Amino acid sequence: MAKRARKTKMLITFAVLAVAAAGGAVAVTRTSPFHSTPAPQAPAAPPPPVGVVAATVKSGDVPIYLRGVGTVIAYNNVLIRSQITGQLVKISFQQGQQVKKGDLLAVIDPRPYQAELDQAIANRDRDQAHLENAKIDLNRYTDLAKQQSIAVQLAESQRAIVDQLVAIIKADEAIIESARVNLSYTNLTSPIDGVSGIRQIDIGNIIHPTDVNGLVDITQIEPISLIFTLPEANFVPIQELLSHGTVTVFVDSQDGKQLDRGILNLIDNQIIQSTGTIRLRAEFPNKKHLLWPGQLVNARLLLDTRHDGLTVPASVVLQGSQGAYVYVINPDSSVAIRSIKIAQISGGQALIDSGLKANEQVVTDGQYKLQPGAHVTILHGRAAEEAAAQSALQAPIP
């Protein structure tokens, strides 16, 4: 009886639980339609346009240059040395002064050389007097010989004395000329137009012909030349240019400032095989004296002028694994990547061979924030300047 009662109780308990579970299932089934469907969400807002600085592709005549590095060389550099020994008694120039050909630079004490000249003149005058007296005797002896009053040999001997004195006077004239030359050497003058360097000897010192440094050096500044090198592959185009006329060469400082404009004089007669380059020489008027001997400068040889050439600022051009490219702004203000070919970059401008068209807009600043298809807004004025400054700080280091 007890076992049957416990079994009956368990069956009742299971029945109650089954009814409760069934009721819960019904409740869940009734409420699930209200909770299983998610609430609709609003579409995501598009990202705001990126502020960039833009430029327009320009068309016009674009010069094409060959670029090289060279050294400024003076056409003439003269070391002023003395031809004689003597004391410097006068200095007539300032160091660094521009002098003209024939300008007096210094004076050596002329008195010893003036005395030599005076002595040579006196000797000539003495010998001239002896010659005049010998000629008178020769005339008298000649007449007496004709009258057979004296031996003919005496007249011939007198003629020899006259000839000897004539030769002595010629020697005297040569000595006089030598003395005059030495006296002229007491005035040291400039043989060329140029600029004086640092003076090596001060007034009061004895100057010698053997002095290694001389008195001063004079360097020609106007005109001046430039010797520069270019790859030997450019030899034929340059030779063709020279055969057709004048070839223009520009010279720039290391920071890109144009210093002067000149013409190509010559191509050296040999190619430097060790470096595969050719040497060229150009001449510049150098009126402003911006070129100085020994100065290291950049040379630009004008090879050609491309008409209707397309140019963009050099900051537009980016480099990728496939080569150079730019961000082009489409009419709907989106951007796209465009591969380009560059002919040259000069003066902050890139000459484009292909990939762009005139009047297209390209991004010059802010490219690092862009992806293809992104929309942009073009900044102007102060905003463009601030964006450029910010880009310089935030752009990734190459």
- Is-contact 235 278, C-beta < 8 A? yes
Could you please state the CATH topology (level 3) that the domain comprising 51-62+308-390 is classified under.
2.40.420
pLDDT in tens, 126-136: 999 999 998 88
What are the structure tokens assigned to 342, written together? 């560059």
Domain 110-185: assigned CATH number: 1.10.287
Q: Mean pLDDT lowest for which of 24-28, 109-113, 137-141, 252-256? A: 24-28
Residue 24: the pLDDT is 47
CA distances from 264 to 134, 234, 237 (A): 68, 14, 13
In the predicted model, what is the mean pLDDT of the chain?
Answer: 85
Angle (nearest 5°) at CA 281 between 77 and 288: 60
Q: In the beta sheet, which residues pair with residue 304?
A: 64
pLDDT in tens, 40-60: 665 666 678 888 889 999 999
CA distances from 347 to 48, 164, 309, 311, 323 (A): 35, 81, 15, 11, 21
Domains 51-62+308-390 and 65-75+221-306 share a fold: no
Q: In the beta sheet, which residues pair with residue 187?
A: 107
Residue 50: the pLDDT is 85
Amino acid at 100: K
> Cα separation of 337 and 324, whole Å?
10
Q: So what CATH class is 76-108+192-219?
A: mainly beta
Buried b (16+ CB within 10 A) or exposed e, 196-230: beebbbeeeeebeeebeebbbbbbbbbebbbbbbb
pLDDT in tens, 164-203: 999 999 999 999 999 999 999 999 999 999 999 999 999 9
> Cα separation of 272 and 231, whole Å?
10
Q: Which CATH number fits domain 65-75+221-306: 2.40.30.170, 3.40.50.970, 3.30.230.10, 2.60.40.1930?
A: 2.40.30.170
Residue 388: the pLDDT is 61
Percent of the chain scoring above 90 in pLDDT: 60
Residue 15: the pLDDT is 47
pTM exceeds 0.85, yes or no: no
Amino acid at 165: L
When computed from its CA atoms, the radius of gyration of the chain, rounded to whole angstroms, is 50
Highest mean pLDDT among 4-13, 220-229, 380-389: 220-229
> Cα separation of 304 and 105, whole Å?
47
pLDDT in tens, 306-342: 898 999 998 889 998 889 999 999 999 899 999 999 9
Q: Say if residue 72's pLDDT is above 80.
A: yes
Domain spans, the chain: 51-62+308-390, 65-75+221-306, 76-108+192-219, 110-185
Pairwise pLDDT comparison (5 vs 163), residue with the higher score: 163
